[in-house]
Amino acid sequence: MLTLNQEHNSKIHPMKPLLSVATILLMIAGCSLIDRPQVAPSFTIELYSTTDHAEGDIFNLEQQQGSPTFINFWFPSCPPCVAEMPQFNKFYMQNKNDVNVVAVQLIGLDSMEDGQKFVDDKSIDFAVGPDTTGKVSVDYQISVYPTTIFVDSEGNIAEYWQGEINAEELEQKLTNLQRSKD
């Protein structure tokens, strides 16, 4: 698990101005917010090309209501983020008719090109796209990478998970969300 502060101290690149903007926004949000949101903040992101999505497709959280949505916050140079991606892909392939999965990439330490290369190299099937402005990460108060947000079928945040997660844990979270709906 990487915290933004650890990454900030060890990997600042003066030639990457987006890093500074995203990092500052996230650090300010992480230090000043009192309560996490209960309703999942709405967002749209333009997706990378993956097996199940074309480059430029739009993921709109509001259009996902009716099914649970798992939102993963990550970036390609984050070792635990990289380690859990095959687990997310396995989970998605087994459950794609019952749950929406989207990975939201922090831009700054890695570029959009790095993100697309990563999903190509790893043959990712689910929706993946960049948080180009940092707003999605701020709205969800993300300061640890990876973090996964579990949103129920009505658009409410059921749980935050900080750190690496595996397919079995994802299965359990989906089962819990399905039980709570009944």
30 lies in which domain range? Answer: 2-181
Label residue 91 exposed, middle or buried (CB < 10 Å: 0-12, 13-18, 19+). buried
**Which CATH number characterizes residue 50's domain?**
3.40.30.10
Residue 73 DSSP class: E
| Residue 42: both structure tokens together | 């709405």
Query: In the beta sheet, which residues pair with residue 70?
Result: 101, 150
- The answer to whether the beta carbons of residues 77 and 109 sit under 8 Å apart is yes
Number of Cα atoms under 13 Å in the Cβ half of residue 21: 11
| Residue 123: both structure tokens together | 């043959």
- Residue ranges for the chain with pLDDT beneath 50: 5-34
User: Considering the entire predicted model, what is its pTM?
Assistant: 0.81
Q: How many domains does the chain have?
A: 1
Q: Could you check whether the bond before residue 14 is cis, i.e. omega within 30 degrees of 0?
A: no
* pLDDT one-digit tens code per residue, 4-27: 544 443 333 344 444 444 444 444
* pLDDT one-digit tens code per residue, 52-64: 999 999 999 999 9
| Residue 14: both structure tokens together | 């003066």
Label residue 38 exposed, middle or buried (CB < 10 Å: 0-12, 13-18, 19+). exposed
